[in-house]
């Protein structure tokens, strides 16, 4: 219709848009908000945030697609942040978490996580090593949050040390957008 067609992207754009194809998942139907929760730790991020954080924990609730991003100064704080979020959501929803899915990161395989498994009613499922596709919900949430955060920082002109504020803002915005 007379509109110019320019499908060529620069080399950098092409390289940054390459993604490995997702695995075909056979997921069981989730019927309650806390039936399945996905965890993933992102970091270390440099420079540290203004508050000293170097990581953030993504908690993704599969039933509602609700996301939480918890800022963490060191990997050893992962468990404590998970427990705070777990208790908050269980009190709010008046139910308990049934299943937690995470990767094999040392932050999810330590003694504290094993102890909470013994005392709580949820099961902890680990995705196979080196296959982030098996924890696709939290991996996709991470990509979405990180992409929006980069745009927020770039457009605002704020220094990179404010990445934690951008992560929190993009998580909030992502939760406000309806999902199918």
Residue-range domains of the chain with CATH: 30-176 (3.30.420.10)
Q: Which of 28-41 are b and which e, b meaning 16 or more Cβ less than 10 Å from the residue's Cβ?
A: eeeeebbbbbbbbb
Relative to beta strand 55-61, strand 36-42 is: antiparallel
Tell me the per-residue pLDDT of 13-47, one tens digit each, with 9 for 90 and over.
555 555 555 545 555 677 899 999 999 999 999 99
State both tokens at 169.
Answer: 């803002």
pLDDT for res 118:
82
CA-nearest of 77, 78, 90 to 39 is 78
C-alpha distances in Å from residue 165, one per residue of 13, 32, 71, 85, 121:
26, 31, 10, 18, 34
The Cα–Cα gap between 26 and 13 comes to 32
Digitized pLDDT (tens) for each residue of the chain, 180 residues in all: 454 455 556 665 555 555 555 545 555 677 899 999 999 999 999 999 999 999 999 999 999 999 999 999 999 999 999 999 999 999 999 999 999 999 988 999 989 988 988 888 889 999 877 676 667 787 889 999 999 999 999 999 999 999 999 999 999 999 998 876
pLDDT for res 35:
94
């Amino acid at each position: 219709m007379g509109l110019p067609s320019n499908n060529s992207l620069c080399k950098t754009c092409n390289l940054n848009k390459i993604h490995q194809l997702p695995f075909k998942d056979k997921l069981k139907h989730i019927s309650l908000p806390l039936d399945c929760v996905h965890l993933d730790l992102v970091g270390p991020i440099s420079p540290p945030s203004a508050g000293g954080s170097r990581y953030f924990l993504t908690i993704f609730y599969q039933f509602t697609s609700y996301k939480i991003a918890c800022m963490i100064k060191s990997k050893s704080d992962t468990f404590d942040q998970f427990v705070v979020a777990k208790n908050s959501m269980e009190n709010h929803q008046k139910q308990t978490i049934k299943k937690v899915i995470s990767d094999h990161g040392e932050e999810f395989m330590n003694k504290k996580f094993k102890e909470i498994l013994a005392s709580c009613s949820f099961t902890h499922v680990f995705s196979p090593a080196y296959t982030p596709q098996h924890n696709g919900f939290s991996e996709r949430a991470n990509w979405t949050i990180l992409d929006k955060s980069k745009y927020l920082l770039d457009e605002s002109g704020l220094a990179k040390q404010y990445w934690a504020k951008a992560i929190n803002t993009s998580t909030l915005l992502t939760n406000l957008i309806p999902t199918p």
